[in-house]
Amino acid sequence: MQILTLTKYIKADLIARLSRDELSPDALTLAALSDHYQVSVTPIYHAINELIEEGYLYREKNRRLCVNQEKMSDAQTAAKSPQPAPPEDHFKRITDDLLAMSLNGESVFLREMASAKKYDISRTSLRNIFNRLAGDGMLEHVPRRGWKLRSFNQHDLDAFIEVRVVLELKALDLAKESLEKRVLQKILDGNQVPETDEEPLQIDNSLHEYLIKQSDNYYIISFFDRHGRYFDLLFLWESNDRDAAIQEIQQHQRILSALINEDWTTARKELEFHLRSNHPVLSQLKR
């Protein structure tokens, strides 16, 4: 049997699930799908883009994803066919390794042949992964030298946060009239601190994506799509720290509660505090 790439697997599985009406519109977000498939947002992003290109999905003016029911009627056979098991997530393994090197301050050149041998995959598969990571801002292809790994830099993070605060607060101002309380409540329900240390954390980080999309401002959306991906990988890594994750959940709860109550002053204050203070682990890395 032909081994599917992770993106192709997710794409095929989404078509089947959408054909069976198993996904609500609220589930069609990068954060929700990433959580469902237990993978990084990158293969989700590519699968969604392919489904849009093929007409299964489309975006409304507010950037919300919608299902093309006419196209889905052609996919009923997919709904009846058993789906293959997901392949090994080489992308996640390689991303985790490179992220650890980046956080250690390493700015090295990676050769395709040696890297493909290390991860036991073909050079073509490795090149596809490296190209995706280049799109995420982690790698840069340098002719005749290989792929240069981006080194974590505290000043770079601080500069990004300064711009992020300005643009995300502006996104909140622009999105006020289009925020749906049922969506906000669902995100709030997805951010719960467990009662005991043994229970797993329940965290939903889709608030930021929701505010940015609902702003309906091309330049705000474009900035985060172009410059935010590398930092999204860093923030996802940071949330592996339980104390940092609990802090993030509690801050999300305060922001969302204020938004649901239409207390815009408190919401702006809590959002700015969250954006500036929610990196206790990364702030300790002096690079």
Question: Which secondary structure element, helix H or strand E, spans residue 118, and what is its range?
Answer: helix 112-119
- Highest mean pLDDT pick, 63-77, 81-95, 158-172: 158-172
Least confident of 12-26, 108-122, 125-139: 12-26
- Rounded Cα–Cα distance for residues 189 and 115 (Å): 42
Q: 228: which 2 tokens?
A: 């935010």
- Highest mean pLDDT pick, 84-98, 123-137, 181-195, 259-273: 259-273
Which segments within the chain are labelled E, that is strand?
A: 57-59, 65-67, 109-110, 139-142, 146-149
Q: Provide the number of structural domains found in the chain.
A: 3
Give the tens place of pLDDT for each residue, 209-238: 999 999 999 999 999 988 998 898 888 888
| CA neighbor of 171 nearest in space, from 221, 205, 212 | 212
| CA neighbor of 91 nearest in space, from 233, 235, 282 | 233
CATH number of the domain that 248 lies in? 1.20.120.530
Could you tell me the residue range of the domain that residue 134 belongs to? 90-149
Tell me if 236 is assigned to some domain: yes
CATH number of the domain that 15 lies in? 1.10.10.10
The full length of the chain comes to 287
Residues 200, 118 share a domain: no
Tell me if 57 is assigned to some domain: yes
Question: Which secondary structure element, helix H or strand E, spans residue 251, and what is its range?
Answer: helix 242-260
- For residue 75, is pLDDT > 60? no
Cα-based angle 284, 287, 92 (whole degrees, multiple of 5): 80
Question: Which secondary structure element, helix H or strand E, spans residue 249, and what is its range?
Answer: helix 242-260
Residues 263, 177 share a domain: yes
Residues 205, 185 share a domain: yes
The DSSP secondary structure of 15-64, one letter per residue, reads HHHHHTT---GGG-SHHHHHHHHTS-HHHHHHHHHHHHHTTSEEE-TT--
Instruction: Find where tokens 């009923």 sit.
Output: 76
Residues 138, 176 share a domain: no
Give the tens place of pLDDT for each residue, 11-36: 888 888 887 777 777 788 877 787 77
Tell me if 59 is assigned to some domain: yes
Q: 232: which 2 tokens?
A: 């999204």
pTM: 0.65
- For residue 2, is pLDDT > 50? no
Percent of the chain scoring above 90 in pLDDT: 34
| CA neighbor of 35 nearest in space, from 202, 278, 183 | 202
Question: Which secondary structure element, helix H or strand E, spans residue 67, and what is its range?
Answer: strand 65-67
Instruction: Find where tokens 């009846």 sit.
Output: 80
